[in-house]
Amino acid sequence: AKYSNETDDREACEVMVEEVDRLNRAITELLEFARPSQLSLKSTDLNGIVTHSLRLIEQDVRQKDIQVIRDEAAHLPPVSLDADRFTQCLLNLYLNSIQAMDRGESLFIRTAFDPVAQTFTIEVEDTGAGMDPANVSKVFDPYFTTKGTGTGLGLAIVHKIIEAHNGTIKVRSTPGKGTVFTLMLPGTPMDEEPE
């Protein structure tokens, strides 16, 4: 009987730890969403940010055997952005994609620069479940989620950060085929936030 009680206690502790982690994530997302989007803008290598952000999901990718395919433009000019906030942006998009995919599917990341329009483009595409049209128009709404867990703030935070960079984000999705998020950032120098 003692062994059974110890097992029950251990399982109860594991559940409590999982719940604390879940609550921490929810509170962090709420605070992140409520925080003013004051940026620390610096001249940054966009492909370097992609490399760094992908390192943060290596374990998630391995667990689901996701194939990461990069198609980055060579010799990109530097872009003015807040590296930490933009990394968070990409991370939220990657995790959203990974959750939508089954084992062995693919995540594509592309970068480009249009010298005429002076615009950087970053695409994050997955081969996951996709979304129906009714949900696509709501994905950036705070607290909207189709998942059983989570706050629904991940993509709302992405939208907020991109807008703070004077950029735009678009999404297109096909049920059963996947989703593409397209981020566009201005390539012209931006005024840095005052100290």
Q: Nearest to residue 34, comparing CAs of 134, 160, 135?
A: 160
**What is the pLDDT of the chain when averaged over all its residues?**
81
Lowest mean pLDDT among 34-38, 49-53, 175-179: 34-38
Euclidean distance between CA atoms 149 and 22, whole angstroms: 9
Query: Could you tell me the CA-to-CA distances from 72 to 88, 110, 121, 137, 177 in Å, in that order?
Result: 19, 5, 10, 28, 23
pLDDT at 133 over 90: no
Mean pLDDT confidence for 76-92: 92
Look at residue 51 and give its three-state secondary structure. helix
pTM, whole model, 2 decimals?
A: 0.75
pLDDT at 26 over 90: no
Q: Which residue has the higher pLDDT, 153 or 115?
A: 115
Structure tokens at 134: 């009714």
- Tell me, what's the pLDDT at 192? 42
- Tell me, what's the pLDDT at 139? 74
pLDDT tens-digit profile of 63-74? 999 999 999 999
Euclidean distance between CA atoms 21 and 18, whole angstroms: 5
Confidence band (pLDDT; 50, 70, 90) for 129? confident
pLDDT at 193 over 50: no
pLDDT tens-digit profile of 47-58? 999 999 999 999
Confidence band (pLDDT; 50, 70, 90) for 145? low
Q: Specify the pairing of strand 168-174 against strand 119-126.
A: unpaired
Euclidean distance between CA atoms 31 and 23, whole angstroms: 12
- Tell me, what's the pLDDT at 194? 35
Give the Cα-Cα-Cα angle 58, 60, 66 (nearest 5 degrees).
85
- Tell me, what's the pLDDT at 23? 61
Lowest mean pLDDT among 14-28, 89-103, 106-120, 135-149: 135-149
